A = this chain, B = another copy of it.
Amino acid sequence: MEKKEKIIIVLCVIATIAAGILHYSGANEIVGFFVAAVALALLAMIVGDATEQLGSRLGPGATGILQSSLGNLPELFVSIFALRAGLANVVQAALIGSILGNLLLVFGLALFLGGLKNGTQRFKSEPPKMIATLMILAVAALMIPTLAKELHTPAESHINNLDIFCAVILLVLLGANIYFSVKGDAAVVPQEKEMGHAEWSLGLAIGVLAGAGVGAALVSDWFVAALEPMMKTFGLSEAFTGLVIVAIAGNSIENLVGIQFAWRNQADYAVSIMLNSSLQIALGLIPILVLLSLFVLGGSVLTLVLPPLLVAALALATIVSAFVVYDGESIWLEGLALIGLYCIIAASFWWG
């Protein structure tokens, strides 16, 4: 294990314990919220690292399955606790916010910083385009229930059934996607460049993953519990809280790792990481949560009928990032424009 990784784990353990103390003592919910958010972001990074290490022990096929099933573990826990707390609006916004955060904010930062350091960056290889295409297809599918509802079609009164059908199709595509990456076609699955990682032993990888998983489940609970007091204190809307704060804590931070690839002029790989994370949310996390909330969880139901502005923002972000990827070259100006678009979308959800 590298020194950097050890530091992150130590920091994470401290943050987790602190978050627990703050939660159970009921001392200060606002401080508790931010400590839990930091712990969650660190846990997301550790889960990502441990999944990768475990994958590299088990072969490329297993990596695909592991990353798809475990990569979004912290968000899954947060979403489940939030749904049980009746915060379906926050969860909807957080799921779309995770995608927007990856496609606009993190991707924008990668192009901006990478472009400033390396000048014009080229991504000529096929994986980024392919993932962008799949992302467009997934988002198009995700949009149908909202359109059917908002445009007052006859399907409006059967929207639960349409949601379920849509979720099942998305999960079929997720399964096909996992099967595809397990087969390991080098033309599409991004090949990780050597980053000089010290390899973990199998036991260590499993142990860290299990520990981080348990930690994520605990911290998610405390994070969600502190969410409503925090929103009240700062006067934040549910939509803004989900879209920006929960999304960044739960997903986007972990993808900041991708930025270092852009910094090292490995733009292709950076792009693949960010797009792939978004694709896992669209094909996996969202339909799984829809089905869980309908059939397993108590609490409020997560529907694919999103607020129309959220769907519009999702569509814009997907098309815009696809054009940036298809361009084949990028400059820091494009990165800045992506960040600008993210800020404008976030601002439009500011008021509650």
**Closest CB-CB distance, A321 to chain B, in whole Å?**
10
Q: Which of B132, B137, B308, B351 contacts A151 (CB 8 A)?
A: B308
Contact B134 A334, beta carbon cutoff 8 Å: yes
Contact A351 B155, beta carbon cutoff 8 Å: yes
Q: Mark A205-243, 1 if CB is under 8 A from B, else 0.
A: 000000000000000000000000000000001010000
A155 to B243, CA, bound (A): 15
**Closest CB-CB distance, A102 to chain B, in whole Å?**
16
A334 to B338, CA, bound (A): 26
A10 at the interface (CB under 8 A from B): no
A126 to B338, CA, bound (A): 19
Contact B324 A133, beta carbon cutoff 8 Å: yes
Listed stretches A11-19, A58-66, A140-148, A256-264; interface member: A140-148
Q: Mark A309-334, 1 if CB is under 8 A from B, else 0.
A: 10011001101101110111101111
A341 to B323, CA, bound (A): 21
A336 at the interface (CB under 8 A from B): yes
**Given A237-B154, A323-B322, A140 contacting B341 (CB threshold 8 A):** yes
**Given A136-B319, A322-B323, A327-B130, A153 contacting B307 (CB threshold 8 A):** yes
A288 at the interface (CB under 8 A from B): no
**Closest CB-CB distance, A347 to chain B, in whole Å?**
5
Q: Which of B155, B166, B307, B329 contacts A130 (CB 8 A)?
A: B329
Q: Which of B141, B308, B333 contacts A134 (CB 8 A)?
A: B333
Contact B140 A320, beta carbon cutoff 8 Å: yes
Q: Which of B137, B312, B333 contacts A337 (CB 8 A)?
A: B137
Contact B180 A137, beta carbon cutoff 8 Å: no
- Specify which chain B residues have a CB less than 8 angstroms from the CB of A307 in the assembled complex: 151, 153
Contact B136 A188, beta carbon cutoff 8 Å: no
A185 at the interface (CB under 8 A from B): yes
A141 to B309, CA, bound (A): 13
A352 to B136, CA, bound (A): 28
Closest to A308 in B: B151
Contact A162 B347, beta carbon cutoff 8 Å: yes
Contact A165 B340, beta carbon cutoff 8 Å: no
A134 to B337, CA, bound (A): 7
Q: Which of B154, B173, B337 contacts A138 (CB 8 A)?
A: B337
- Having A173-B337, A187-B329, one finds 5 other A-B pairs with CB under 8 Å, namely A120-B126, A133-B327, A141-B344, A148-B309, A162-B347
Residues of chain A touching chain B, judged by Cβ–Cβ distance below 8 Å, are 119-120, 126, 129-130, 132-134, 136-138, 140-141, 143-145, 147-148, 151, 153-155, 157-158, 162, 165-166, 169-170, 172-173, 176-177, 180, 185, 187-188, 237, 239, 307-309, 312-313, 316-317, 319-320, 322-324, 326-329, 331-334, 336-338, 340-341, 343-345, 347-352
